[in-house]
Amino acid sequence: MILRFWGVRGSIPVPGVDTSRYGGNTSCVELASPGNPSLVFDCGTGARALGRAMLGRPERELHLLFSHFHMDHLFGFPFFAPIFAPSYEMTVTAPAFHPDGAKDRIARYLNGVFHPLRLPEIPGRITYDAIRPARPFTRGPWDIVGFAMNHPGGACAYRATLGGRSVAYVTDTAPLSRPGEGLAGGGLPNGREAQFIDFLRGADAVVFDTMFTLPEYLEKMTWGHSYPEYAATVCAAAGVKQLYLFHHAPDATDADLDLLGEQWAAETRLVVRVAREGTDVNLEG
């Protein structure tokens, strides 16, 4: 199983000389397994390069899962080449009460006003489906379960398992406990955190929204983003092997992210790395 980062940035794409090494594209992460259809988490601007890469591969099936529909997670959808390839069989999944929930929300963007295309004009073969967090489901050979996150308007984390390996994609979310309480306060997990730890337990890798530093989070607690210390504490409590810090702040330069990686290199509870656009993580070793 290979975890591939196509876009690691939060909120807005930030191309430029200060972000060229970690990348300026927004959220798009692929989970690939040879001979199986890939899972794609979110369709931020990183999805454009992923779509081009996919057209060059023999597989003609893929499963796209949306955490939520804030623009940094959706903007790449009409630039994702497989939606224009009728040879592709594609599912689009999002948390909703109705199978058309995802379709209706994407159609608000692809309506001829915010983008020249209207959703019904897309030639690809796309099946839409709704899931409820905490109810397991499958996509091809993948076993998947969602978890409701703490984000304005809601967001859903996903954990996908195949061949005994598991990866969780956790964005966007604020901590599940307030400062001084639960795991954030150095104590025992609160009820929701205990469920979250069960959700993450033993995962081979977790990709976690850590857009803020702790002081930034304390200023912007209602914005719905987390910070590295919280992610590491939750993942350590769940026995996670590798944590990837993700959804980097637009202002975070390559130098800032280098420093972040150096700060976390000494962590002993688990491996902590900074997600970087264009890199593969092989989870078989």
Size of the site for Zn ion (CB under 5 A): 4
Beta strands at 2-7 and 280-282: parallel, antiparallel or unpaired: antiparallel
Nearer residue to Zn ion within complex by CB, 139 or 247: 247
Query: How far apart are CB 247 and Zn ion at their closest, in Å?
Result: 6
Site string for Zn ion, 62-91 (x = CB under 5 A): --------x-x-------------------
Instruction: Give the nearest residue (CB) to Zn ion.
Output: 70
Q: Which of 17, 22, 64 is nearest to 40 (CA)?
A: 64
42 binds Zn ion (CB under 5 A): no
Query: How far apart are CB 161 and Zn ion at their closest, in Å?
Result: 24
Query: How far apart are CB 248 and Zn ion at their closest, in Å?
Result: 11
Nearer residue to Zn ion within complex by CB, 1 or 106: 106
Site string for Zn ion, 149-178 (x = CB under 5 A): -----------------------x------
Nearer residue to Zn ion within complex by CB, 114 or 269: 114
The amino acid that residue 257 corresponds to is L
Residues that bind Zn ion (CB under 5 A): 10, 70, 72, 172
